[in-house]
């Protein structure tokens, strides 16, 4: 069975070395030594000032809204993303206001953001879709002009750079997911990243029940990463360059075999990409479903990612048409891409697609 992704696993002996440290320390969680070590090493690797590790990427978004004191109001966001981006906004008693996407980059269309701003708008949550950068410069200009906060959902962005800087280093806060399906994972996990010390300290308190120097001064939650997750993160970090290099090689093989056959998202200039996914866009939904069926018949499981366009969810109260997102969501799939995927399987996948599309 070939799935759309498969988790990278470090040599078991290396993971066991970290597990032994947990047995020796008897510290399983609560900001333990492995977590502290991982935070430092990630800050150094990504060249970031601060990073707070948390239990997952969804709660990272919720913490970001809490840390910026956004308790109600409208949040401008994209409909073309994983459902967690939208559900986090609603979970925090805010209202998602969807802005359609750019048909080439698949990220939020910055030229449509200002038209969606009202007196109730509090923030912009933009998504670096598939690890491709949003137009961070223009988003910041708009936010500054309207006194809005900027949160980036960087769930897919670990390892991607823009103009030599980690894509996780933009905005008031960027969140990241370290779920097992990601380029870099801690089994389950996530992070909140901010360049400002006061925001970092606020997140640190919020993720630990609101604890500020032993006093519970604010309402918090429990979003602490365990030592076991940190152990996997430490074991995996040394391989990240190799992981991305191999994924790049597989992606370039797809590029060679599918050139002119399918559409692909556009990567803007100045990007060092992490090759987290390999999305293709087909001519219509019928062709998309046909290829999925044909691949499934050969034990190959691509993913309709992202489908549906989130403005179409039945629990969204304010119905906003986003025709580009709605169209792309019906025509896009992500092909299998992971470390260890054999060239022969890539050839087989592309042969099936060519037979159905060509």
Q: Quickly list DSSP for 151-173.
A: EEE-TT-TT-EETTEEGGG-SSE
Contact 333, 302 (CB under 8 A): yes
Percent helix, percent strand, percent coil in the chain, to nearest 5: 40, 15, 40
Digit-coded pLDDT (tens) for 58-79: 999 999 999 999 999 999 999 9
pLDDT exceeds cutoff 90 at 355: yes
Q: pTM of the full predicted structure?
A: 0.96
Give the percent of the chain with pLDDT over 90.
96
Which residues, at least 6 apart from 306, have a Cβ–Cβ distance to it below 8 Å? 80, 81, 82, 329, 332
Which pLDDT value is given to residue 348? 98
E strand or H helix that includes residue 264:
none
* pLDDT classification of 205: cutoffs 50, 70, 90: very high
pLDDT band at 358 (very low <50, low <70, confident <90, very high): low
Alpha helices in the chain (DSSP H): 12-25, 33-46, 57-67, 83-91, 136-146, 197-206, 227-237, 240-258, 285-297, 323-331, 343-357
Q: What whole-number distance in Å separates Cα of residue 113 and Cα of residue 97?
A: 10
Say which residues have a Cβ less than 8 Å from residue 52's Cβ, sequence separation at least 6: 39, 63, 191, 192, 193, 200, 203, 204, 207
pLDDT on residue 86: 98
What was the pLDDT predicted at 225?
Answer: 98
Instruction: Write down the pLDDT at residue 318.
Output: 83
**For the chain, what is the mean pLDDT?**
97
In the prediction, which pLDDT does 200 show?
Answer: 96
Residue in 171, 172, 189 with CA at minimum distance from that of residue 180: 189
Domains of the chain from N-terminus onward? 2-237 (3.40.640.10), 240-357 (3.90.1150.10)
CA dihedral (247, 253, 259, 261) positive or negative: negative
pLDDT per residue over 68-110, tens digit each?
999 999 999 999 999 999 999 999 999 999 999 999 999 999 9
Q: What is the pLDDT of residue 342?
A: 97
Q: How far apart are CA 203 and CA 206, in angstroms?
A: 5
Question: pLDDT tens digits for 277-335?
Answer: 999 999 999 999 999 999 999 999 999 999 999 999 999 988 899 999 999 999 999 99
Contact 157/176 with Cβ under 8 angstroms?
yes
Residue identified by tokens 């602490």 is: 224
Q: Residue 3 and residue 341: Cα distance in Å, rounded?
A: 10
**Which tokens belong to 55?**
């239990």
- The whole-number pLDDT of residue 174 equals 98
């Amino acid at each position: 069975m070939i799935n759309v992704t498969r988790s990278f696993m470090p040599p078991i002996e290396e993971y066991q070395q970290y597990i032994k440290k947990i047995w020796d320390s008897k510290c399983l969680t609560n900001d333990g030594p492995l977590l502290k070590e991982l935070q430092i090493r990630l800050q150094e690797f990504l060249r970031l000032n601060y990073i707070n590790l948390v239990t997952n990427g969804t709660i990272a978004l919720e913490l970001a809204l809490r840390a910026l004191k956004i308790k109600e109001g409208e949040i401008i966001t994209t409909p073309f993303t994983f459902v967690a981006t939208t559900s986090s906004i609603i979970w925090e008693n805010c209202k998602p206001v969807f802005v359609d996407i750019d048909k080439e980059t698949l990220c939020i269309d910055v030229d449509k953001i200002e038209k969606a701003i009202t007196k109730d708008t509090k923030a912009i949550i933009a998504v670096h879709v598939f690890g491709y950068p949003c137009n961070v410069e223009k988003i910041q200009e708009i936010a500054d002009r309207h006194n809005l906060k900027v949160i980036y959902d960087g769930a897919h962005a670990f390892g991607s750079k823009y103009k030599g800087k980690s894509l996780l280093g933009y905005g008031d806060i960027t969140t990241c997911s370290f779920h097992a399906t990601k380029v870099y994972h801690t089994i389950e996990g996530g992070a909140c990243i901010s360049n400002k010390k006061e925001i970092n300290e606020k997140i640190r308190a919020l993720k630990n029940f609101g604890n500020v120097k032993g006093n519970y001064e604010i309402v918090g939650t429990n979003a602490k990463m365990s030592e076991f997750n940190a152990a996997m993160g430490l074991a995996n970090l040394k391989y990240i360059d190799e992981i991305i290099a191999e994924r790049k090689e597989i992606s370039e093989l797809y590029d060679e075999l599918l050139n002119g056959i399918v559409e692909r998202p556009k990567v803007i200039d100045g990007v060092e990409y992490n090759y987290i996914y390999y999305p293709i866009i087909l001519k219509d939904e019928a062709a998309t479903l046909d290829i999925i069926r044909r691949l499934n018949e050969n034990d190959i499981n691509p993913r309709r990612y992202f489908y549906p366009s989130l403005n179409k969810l039945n629990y969204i109260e304010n119905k906003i048409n986003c025709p580009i997102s709605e169209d792309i969501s019906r025509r896009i799939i992500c092909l299998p891409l992971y470390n260890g995927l054999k060239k022969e399987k890539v050839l087989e996948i592309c042969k099936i697609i060519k037979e159905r599309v060509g």
